[in-house]
Amino acid sequence: MDRPRGIVFPMMGAGLAMLLIHGLGCRPSREPTGDAGKARSVAEPRAVLGAGGCATAGCHAAPVEGHLPWQSAYTVWASRDRHTRAYEVLREPLAQQIIATLGARDPSRPLPPAHENESCLGCHVTVQGARVSEGVSCESCHGPAGDWLVAHTLPGWKTRGNSLGMVDLADPFVCATQCSQCHIGGPPAADGFPREVSHEMIAAGHPRIVFNLRSFKLGEPPHWQDRFAGGEGGLDVIDEVVVGRLGALDAYLAMLAYRSARAMETSADDHIGAWPEFAAFDCYGCHRAAVAAVDRGATATARLGRVRLEPMRWALTDELLPEDAARTLADFREDVEATWWMPPRPEAIEACRRAVESARHSAGSRLKAIPADQLARRALGSVDVTNWDEVVIAAKALTALVDRLSLQEDVTAIRPRLAVVRTLLEFPEQEIGGRKVRFNSPHGYDAAAVRTELEAIVRAIEAVGR
């Protein structure tokens, strides 16, 4: 295998920024509601109607001022949401660069441009027949509306448990798996377009994709009420953080199962679908040594470090899951990492998904019963502070605990410290081809400083929290 030389990562990607900026932020809010609902099961592709179907003024296109979130959902999405640009970015120079770099690997097979390339359209548009220009619109998240558009306006409609294909995004597990279709990737969607960002695509310039439900929802211009922030109705941020993480973990496992099955079907000399797919592993296990060498100004002597499954998905799983479920996942992880060049066994992945599923409805309440100071201590104790991914997750967990404490205690002294951690986790900004980008590596990452700050935050939580 080729070894990376002077590792030059592409931009950090809005997603990573999202984890930092919004993941460590806080927002007040209200709104209680019921608990989690059921995942949908779709038998056959349902008709996609397009955002226009939601845009009537009496429906979701009211002005933002003076209206409830549901009434102005379309207005907010159309005027402020990044997802409306998801198709347009495929015409921009970075997309062209990605395709050119991928194409250069086999000049005998020219690739279609990004905005016509199925490998890109799968996550960058909501397909409605031939019309794709809306980018990622309502039905990518809420489900194809063909069967429910009329029904959901009738009295007595309940999204939870409906059989018409409207996705119950109020359930953090369901919401996380829905967003993860594009923010983690997965098997091809109903339209047959792939949904995968491979290491090859990342090496060609695609931002690394990452996902965590709470911070990504906070990163959106909300067209909904934040039912988790207020501490009413028995729900709180712990529910969204914990259950959302389990949903994203499930999506990651599903992606692993898909990659593994494909690798087993594909002949060894066929490059496409080959395992190991590096994007499923810890970026810095392979890249950090080289980055550190570059930092010191030495010639980059890249060394292959320890190969680990993507830590961002696994961080804190010991805390999130009951003991037996955590054990199942830890054993699986250990097995895969010990023989990482072999595709993981489908039955083993299935067992993990069952363990996650079994914890899904109880994890939130189990963790909520534990006092914040203990949770904070455990969160810090169970992450490796030298690993950037793991620290991002620990910092987000601490932020959620502080948000929760803030409902009863004065936490103004703790917030600035969270901001310091955020700064320590940020990557330096650079300019490439006229674009300001952030390097996708923990360039200059100072684990000792991060540890000191996190330790101070945990002590501060211990001082106010129970």
By CB under 6 A, the residues from 276 to 295 that bind ligand HEC are 278-279, 281-283, 285-287
By the rule CB under 6 A, 450 interacts with ligand HEC: no
Prior bond of 221 cis (ω within 30°)? no
Which residue reads 């900026």 in tokens? 21
Cα dist from 109 to 102, 105, 113, 340, 437, whole Å: 10, 9, 13, 30, 30
Least Cβ distance, residue 102 to ligand HEC (angstroms): 6
Gap between the Cα atoms of 275 and 273, Å rounded = 7
DSSP secondary structure letter of residue 437: E
Decide whether 1 or 268 has the Cβ nearer to ligand HEC.
1
With CB under 6 A as the contact rule, the residue among 162, 178, 212, 387 that binds ligand HEC is 178
Decide whether 82 or 459 has the Cβ nearer to ligand HEC.
82
With CB under 6 A as the contact rule, the residue among 122, 144, 344, 465 that binds ligand HEC is 122
Write the binding mask 223 to 262 for ligand HEC: x where contact by CB under 6 A, - elsewhere.
xxx-x-----------------------------------
Decide whether 86 or 325 has the Cβ nearer to ligand HEC.
86
Contact region for ligand HEC (CB under 6 A) — 2-10, 351-359, 375-383, 444-452?
A: 2-10
Decide whether 74 or 332 has the Cβ nearer to ligand HEC.
74
Cα dist from 411 to 8, 211, 229, 406, 449, whole Å: 40, 27, 15, 6, 22
With CB under 6 A as the contact rule, the residue among 20, 62, 164, 175 that binds ligand HEC is 175
Decide whether 138 or 363 has the Cβ nearer to ligand HEC.
138
With CB under 6 A as the contact rule, the residue among 23, 72, 220, 275 that binds ligand HEC is 220
As to burial, measured by CB atoms within 10 angstroms (0-12 exposed, 13-18 middle, 19+ buried), residue 100 is: middle
Decide whether 201 or 263 has the Cβ nearer to ligand HEC.
201
Task: Considering only residues 80 through 99, tell me which ones interact with ligand HEC, judged by CB under 6 A.
Answer: 82-83, 85-86, 89-90, 92, 94-95, 98-99
Task: Considering only residues 6 through 65, tell me which ones interact with ligand HEC, judged by CB under 6 A.
Answer: 7-10, 13-15, 18, 51, 54, 60
Least Cβ distance, residue 395 to ligand HEC (angstroms): 17
HSE of 328, CA atoms in CB hemisphere, 13 A: 18
Rg (CA), the chain: 22
Which is it for the CA torsion 299, 303, 305, 309, positive or negative?
A: positive
By the rule CB under 6 A, 212 interacts with ligand HEC: no
By the rule CB under 6 A, 197 interacts with ligand HEC: yes
With CB under 6 A as the contact rule, the residue among 128, 140, 177, 317 that binds ligand HEC is 140
Decide whether 308 or 368 has the Cβ nearer to ligand HEC.
308
| E strands present in 50-157 | none
Gap between the Cα atoms of 400 and 21, Å rounded = 13
User: Three-state DSSP class for 436?
Assistant: strand
Gap between the Cα atoms of 416 and 322, Å rounded = 33
In this structure, the number of other CB atoms found within 10 A of the CB of residue 136 comes to 20
Q: Would you state the structure tokens that stand for residue 331, as one six-digit string?
A: 């054993």
Count interface residues toward ligand HEC (CB under 6 A).
Answer: 82
